[in-house]
């Protein structure tokens, strides 16, 4: 027998359950407790770049919308910098780049407003196309699902993106691309997450 390594093991995951809102979005659960609810404002008032809305559904394997999910987004600013000491560079004051939204209790629709991120550095010098990192938890999801939201109007950057290109099944890559349309003057991206079944969204082990 060799000596045992003394690394600790990660705390194992458990589902967030149906009442995740109480802890992470109490106003949605139906009560007001904290002065500041976290994750409501992703980009802040000073962020440069195009203001966008991203919206969609989370759809289960029966084709039904999931009405008790919570989604978190983590993104770079328009310069491609994350609001973190190792984030690549400075960000605008009050740009946090992180937010959380819930799926509507009646319709399952979710939406958040932010700014469109810039490209970010990938590994070995390859640029990554603009994207949002998305993390999804809900009742019935035993460990949070990680995916990415890319943008349909970034065709050239998407075509060169190392992560998209690393997905062996080219026909699955479009599940990560949000479709842009205009609603009045406002750009809106549609991104439906399919947990299972035909066109199942690509999820990552990061």
Partner 1 sequence: MKKDAEFYQRDRTWHPPALTPDYKTSVARSPRNALISLENTVGDVTGPVFGHDDIGEGDNDLLHNFAAPGESAIGERIILHGRVMDENARPVAGTLVEIWQANAGGRYRHRKDAYFAPIDPNFGGCGRVITDEDGYFYFRTVKPGAYPWRNTINAWRPAHIHLSIFGTGFAQRLITQCYFEGDPLIPRCPIVGSLPDPEAVERLTATLDMNATIPLDSIAYRFDIVLRGRRSTLFENRLEGN
The residue from 4, 10, 45, 182 that contacts partner 1 (CB under 8 A) is: 10
- Residue 22 touches partner 1, criterion: CB under 8 A: yes
Q: Please tell me the count of residues contacting partner 1 according to CB under 8 A.
A: 84
Least distance to partner 1, CB of residue 182, Å: 27
Q: DSSP letter at 80?
A: S
DSSP secondary structure code for residue 33 in this structure: -
Closest-CA residue to 139 (of 201, 198, 58, 206): 58
Contact criterion met (CB below 8 Å) for 65 and 59: yes
Q: How far apart are the first and last CA of the chain?
A: 32
Which of 2, 3, 45, 86 binds partner 1 (CB under 8 A)? It is: 86
For partner 1, give the closer residue by CB, 11 or 185: 11
Of 11-19, 49-57, 149-157, 183-191, the segment contacting partner 1 by CB under 8 A is: 11-19
* 17: nearest Cα among 105, 110, 102, 142: 142
One character per residue 174-203, x = contact with partner 1 (rule: CB under 8 A): ---------------------xxx--xxxx
DSSP 8-state class, residue 89: S
Nearest residue to 43 (alpha-carbon basis) of 32, 52, 31: 52
According to CB under 8 A, which one of 4, 106, 124, 156 is a site residue for partner 1?
124
E strands, 26-95, are 51-56, 58-59, 69-75
158 counts as binding partner 1 under rule CB under 8 A: no
Nearer to partner 1, 52 or 129 (CB): 129
Show the tokens assigned to 38: 């976290």
Among the listed residues 137, 149, 177, 178, the single contact to partner 1 using CB under 8 A: 137
Sign of the C-alpha dihedral, residues 166, 168, 171, 176? Answer: negative
Asked whether position 87 contacts partner 1 by CB under 8 A, the answer is yes
Contact call for residue 122 and partner 1 (CB under 8 A): yes
Q: Which of 11, 45, 171, 184 binds partner 1 (CB under 8 A)?
A: 11
């Amino acid at each position: 027998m060799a000596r045992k390594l003394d690394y600790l093991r990660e705390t194992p995951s458990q589902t967030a359950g149906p009442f995740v809102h109480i802890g992470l979005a109490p106003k949605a659960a139906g009560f007001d407790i904290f002065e500041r609810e976290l994750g409501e404002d992703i980009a802040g008032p000073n962020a440069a770049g195009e203001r966008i809305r991203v919206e969609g559904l989370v759809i289960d394997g029966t084709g039904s919308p999931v009405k008790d999910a919570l989604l978190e987004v983590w993104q770079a600013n328009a310069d491609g910098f994350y609001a973190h000491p190792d984030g690549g560079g400075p960000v605008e004051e009050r740009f946090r780049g992180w937010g959380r939204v819930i799926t509507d209790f009646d319709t399952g629709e979710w939406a958040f407003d932010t700014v469109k991120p810039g490209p970010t550095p990938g590994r070995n010098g390859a640029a990554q196309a603009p994207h949002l990192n998305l993390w999804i938890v809900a009742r019935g999801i035993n460990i949070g699902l990680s995916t990415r939201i890319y943008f349909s109007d970034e065709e050239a950057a998407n075509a060169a993106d190392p992560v998209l290109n690393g997905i062996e099944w080219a026909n699955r890559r479009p599940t990560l691309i949000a479709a842009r349309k205009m609603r009045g003057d406002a750009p809106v991206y549609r991104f439906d997450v399919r947990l299972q079944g035909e066109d199942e969204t690509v999820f990552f082990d990061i």
